[in-house]
Amino acid sequence: MICAPLMSQSVDQIVNDMYQAKAQGADVVEIRLDCINNFQPHQDLEIILRNKPLPVLIVYRPKWEGGQYDGDEHMRLEALHLAKELGADYIDLEFKVASNLMEEHKQNQRGCSKVIVSCFLDSVTPSKEELSHLVARMQSTGADIIKLVTNATNITELARIFHLLSHCQVPLIAYSIGERGLISQILNPKFGGVLVYGSIKGNSVPGLPTIDSLRHAYEFEHINEDTKVFGLVSKPVSHSKGPILHNPTFRHVGYNGIYVPMFVDDLKEFFSVYSSPDFAGFSIGIPYKEAVIGFCDEVHPLAQSIGAVNTIIRRPSDRKLVGYNTDCEAAITAIEDALKVFGFTNGEAFPSPLTARVIVFDIDFGRAKSLAHAVSGEAQPFEDLVKFQPEKGAILANATPLGMHPNTDRIPVAEVTLGDYELVFDSVYTPRETRLLKEAKAAGAIIVSGVQMFLRQAIGQFNLFTGREAPEEFMRDIVLAKF
Ligand SMILES: O=C1C[C@@](O)(C(=O)O)C[C@@H](O)[C@@H]1O
């Protein structure tokens, strides 16, 4: 189930939000009474519960547990009792007070709300043993459902939450908030969680995905214990459009897979913790494409010669991590295809753009030299790029993240020279048309967006991930419609 937390300050707005949550695909709404201005328990609860279009979970969070209520504790608990009497489907009791209150709750026969005993740990996720002790203590309160939330500082902590979810005997809501915690929410149904939180549009709650992304980008309802997990290992990772391309494509071909963003701080720790066959493959993004080679058991010769891996699969026969590079062909064919469209082939076999004279600029001159050496080109100092005058008809390729969201006003070369390029290619794909491409188009150059490369590298990845032929037209249509 997806639960929408509603934190509006007025009761009218809450009623409105409940309907929106339903329309967007929530199964339950959580009403945060502590966020309501001048809250009048009887009157406000009656309006909310009389108008509920979905099951309602009532939370009245005190300041000592991260909420906004700092009034009298007795009145707070009274309001929760009242919510029960007035027909709340669930009420949330903080673990710190739950043991004293559960007896009272059980004896109070009015209303039939289920009780969620909750605990928020604003710290590193505890060890497996500590977590299971904590859950056992929470369970002993007599809770119907247990809720445990942590604030992960590293994606590897989430494995402990997955372990807890798959071994717990009582209904459990468990996840971690924040960018590093995101996959604990998305993958919840795979490991047996009963409920995750998703915010309604325009009302985003820090650290939570939106209902829309759970329903549409991740197609949450299709995830089950057999779902194979694929992820983009990167830092940062939230800009990636991989999920909105790979997930619908998995569904389209009937493959039980899910593709998620993985905010990774430490490759070594990551690969040692997520070593089960459930984690079947990875895209590798900035800044790890070179370093990740050291964690592959085998590397395809092309990727080896490039010195960069952007795709890893865990080979099912022996679980070995095998690294590939789908970026290289994607970049070259994106440029070649654009040149063909503009009639540069004359019906003859078209030579690769890389057969031309290659000049390499890099802020690290040593790296520029070694790349230039590998492609029989020449390196020039980065400082000279601003005054670099290309030959007429040259191709410019930006292979750096410069101009990528959020620093979209950056441009790597002097604008006055852009008119001298026949074609300008940008490997950046967020935004679709970078400032470099806009200026190049205005100067009359053919432009090739990083989206073209992104699509082609993703097609290559899909083939490797699934062992099936990627539905290229389908993927192209998604890119056209959604990017
Ligand atoms: O460079 C890219 C883009 C990417 O990092 C992403 O943003 O989804 C995914 C990588 O596989 C690919 O090589």
What does the pLDDT read at residue 110? 67
**Is 297 within the bounds of a domain?**
no
Please determine, for residue 152, whether its predicted confidence score (pLDDT) is greater than 80.
yes
What does the pLDDT read at residue 207? 76
Q: Are 198 and 341 in a shared domain?
A: no
What does the pLDDT read at residue 122? 86
**Is 306 within the bounds of a domain?**
no
**Is 8 within the bounds of a domain?**
yes
What does the pLDDT read at residue 354? 59
pLDDT tens-digit map of 288-299: 999 999 999 999
Q: What is the 3-state secondary structure (H, E, C) of the chain?
A: CEEEEECCCCHHHHHHHHHHHHHHCCCEEEEEHHHCCCCCHHHHHHHHHHCCCCCEEEECCEHHHCCCECCCHHHHHHHHHHHHHCCCCEEEEEHHHHHHHHHHHHHCCCCCCEEEEEEEECCCCCCHHHHHHHHHHHHCCCCCEEEEEECCCCHHHHHHHHHHHHHCCCCEEEEECCHHHHHHHHCHHHHCCCCEECECCCCCCCCCCEHHHHHHHCCHHHCCCCCEEEEEEECCCCCCCHHHHHHHHHHHHCCCEEEEEEECCCHHHHHHHCCCCCEEEEEECCCCCCHHHHHCCEECHHHHHHCCCCEEEECCCCCCEEEECCHHHHHHHHHHHHHHHCCCCCCCCCCCHHHCCCEECCCCHHHHHHHHHHCCCEECCHHHHHHCCCCCCEEEEECCCCCCCCCCCCCCCCHHHHHHEEEEEECCCCCCCCHHHHHHHHCCCEEECHHHHHHHHHHHHHHHHHCCCCCHHHHHHHHHHHC
**ipTM passes above 0.95:** yes
> How many domains would you assign to the chain?
2
Question: For ligand 1, is residue 283 a contact (CB within 6 Å)?
Answer: yes
What does the pLDDT read at residue 349? 56
Cα(436) to centroid(ligand 1), Å: 20
Q: Which atom of ligand 1 is nearest to the CA of 237?
A: 7
CATH number at residue 163: 3.20.20.70
Q: Are 70 and 192 in a shared domain?
A: yes
What does the pLDDT read at residue 205? 80
CATH number at residue 366: 3.40.50.720
Q: Are 219 and 335 in a shared domain?
A: no
Q: Are 41 and 186 in a shared domain?
A: yes
pLDDT tens-digit map of 221-260: 999 999 999 999 999 999 899 999 999 999 999 999 999 9
Which residues are designated catalytic? 289
Q: Are 46 and 161 in a shared domain?
A: yes
Q: Whose CA is nearest to atom 3 of ligand 1?
A: 285
Report, as an integer, the average pLDDT of 152-161. Answer: 96
What does the pLDDT read at residue 116? 96
pLDDT tens-digit map of 341-391: 887 764 555 566 657 899 999 999 999 999 999 989 999 999 999 889 998
Question: For ligand 1, is residue 310 a contact (CB within 6 Å)?
Answer: yes
Range of the domain at 428: 329-454
Residue at which a domain ends, from 179, 202, 225: 225
Residue at which a domain ends, from 180, 197, 225: 225
Question: For ligand 1, is residue 457 a contact (CB within 6 Å)?
Answer: yes
Q: Which atom of ligand 1 is nearest to the CA of 241?
A: 8
**Is 192 within the bounds of a domain?**
yes
Report, as an integer, the average pLDDT of 186-208. Answer: 91
Q: Are 206 and 58 in a shared domain?
A: yes
Question: For ligand 1, is residue 325 a contact (CB within 6 Å)?
Answer: no
What does the pLDDT read at residue 112? 85
Cα(157) to centroid(ligand 1), Å: 24
What does the pLDDT read at residue 104? 72
**Is 115 within the bounds of a domain?**
yes
**Is 122 within the bounds of a domain?**
yes
pLDDT tens-digit map of 96-149: 999 777 777 666 666 789 999 999 998 889 999 999 999 999 999 999 999 999
Q: Whose CA is nearest to atom 4 of ligand 1?
A: 285
**Is 233 within the bounds of a domain?**
no
**Is 218 within the bounds of a domain?**
yes
